[in-house]
């Protein structure tokens, strides 16, 4: 799905409307990408694993200036994410990276850009993301969590990766 388009745009959507907007796009035959991750929710009487949007308030659509006005009329869509006065363009490789790690079952967590301490930088040495630069966040019980910066969106993803595929920069 993501390979058909080189450039994608991000949309701001109303709070807790990500899945509804994605369903609307699907029902109307429009492409979209909503990265979901599994999360354990605990209530007083039960526990349940639910799928939640990785980036709350965002949904991704292929870049298509002809559909710009129609997209803004979709119920729940607030606006396009903008950068320097233009719609922010997201490279498909960034979305493919997210999709790959979700498909492989890695734990992903979206974080604010200022919510981490500066650490050591590493390059991923194996897999389809060979050469991707990441930043070490912290260490937990024999596994390390690393930070991937998605530059064009201004978002950060925390991910657990095996140390053997990383090399210090």
pTM, full prediction = 0.70
Please report, for the chain, the start and end positions of each structural domain, with discontinuous segments joined by +. 2-91, 106-168
Q: Of 18-22, 59-63, 108-112, which gets the smallest average pLDDT?
A: 108-112
166 in Cβ contact with 122 (< 8 Å): yes
Domain topology for 2-91: Alpha-Beta Plaits (3.30.70)
Domain topology for 106-168: SH3 type barrels. (2.30.30)
Same fold, 2-91 and 106-168: no
Q: Of 13-27, 29-43, 141-155, which gets the smallest average pLDDT?
A: 141-155
Task: Using alpha carbons, list the distances in angstroms from residue 122 to 106, 129, 130, 149.
Answer: 18, 12, 11, 12
């Amino acid at each position: 799905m993501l390979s058909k388009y080189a450039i994608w745009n991000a949309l701001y959507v109303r709070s807790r409307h990500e899945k509804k907007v994605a369903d609307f796009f699907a029902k109307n035959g429009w492409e979209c990408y909503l990265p979901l991750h599994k999360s354990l929710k605990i209530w007083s009487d039960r526990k349940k694993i639910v799928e939640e949007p990785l980036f709350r308030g965002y949904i991704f659509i292929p870049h298509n200036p002809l559909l710009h006005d129609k997209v803004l009329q979709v119920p729940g869509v607030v606006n396009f994410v903008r950068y320097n006065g233009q719609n922010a363009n997201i490279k498909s490789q960034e979305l493919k990276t997210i999709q790959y790690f979700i498909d492989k079952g890695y734990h992903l967590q979206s974080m604010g850009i200022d919510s981490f301490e500066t650490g050591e930088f590493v390059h991923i040495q194996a897999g389809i993301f060979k050469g991707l630069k990441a930043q070490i966040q912290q260490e937990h019980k024999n596994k390390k969590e690393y930070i991937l910066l998605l530059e064009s969106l201004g978002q950060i993803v925390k991910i657990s990766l095996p140390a053997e595929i990383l090399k210090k920069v």
